[in-house]
Amino acid sequence: MALHIKTANQVGTLDVICVIFILSVVLAFYHYGIEQHWWEVASGCGDFDRIPMNFEDFKSQLLAKLPKRCDEIDWTLFGLSMSGYNFLVSIGLVVFSLPYNLFHKKV
């Protein structure tokens, strides 16, 4: 939307969009690496740090279903998980937006 407004800083908007896409590539690659067991999870994905304050809290924690682990893959298509597709789409967005951003910069 800001790219169509004449008074908006269009070059700055393009810079922010490119940075967001690059961060998306990094985050998707990190998550894909966790799923492939290339590295360990830095911290738990669930709420494992909560200390029960009374017996009822303790009992409810024991009976509650544990959250899904970060390295468990729920769904794949053609051998790629959702984080793999996120990585590929994010790379595509960077490849598409970076030349567009560089082309529209005023020197």
Q: Alpha-carbon distance 21 to 91, whole Å?
A: 8
Q: Say how many domains are in the chain.
A: 1
pLDDT tier at 107, thresholds 50, 70, 90: very low
**Is this structure's pTM higher than 0.85?**
no
Per residue in 34-75, pLDDT (tens digit) is 888 888 776 555 555 567 778 888 888 777 776 677 777 788
Which residue range is the domain that position 28 belongs to? Answer: 2-103
Count of CB atoms situated within 10 Å of the CB of 18? 17
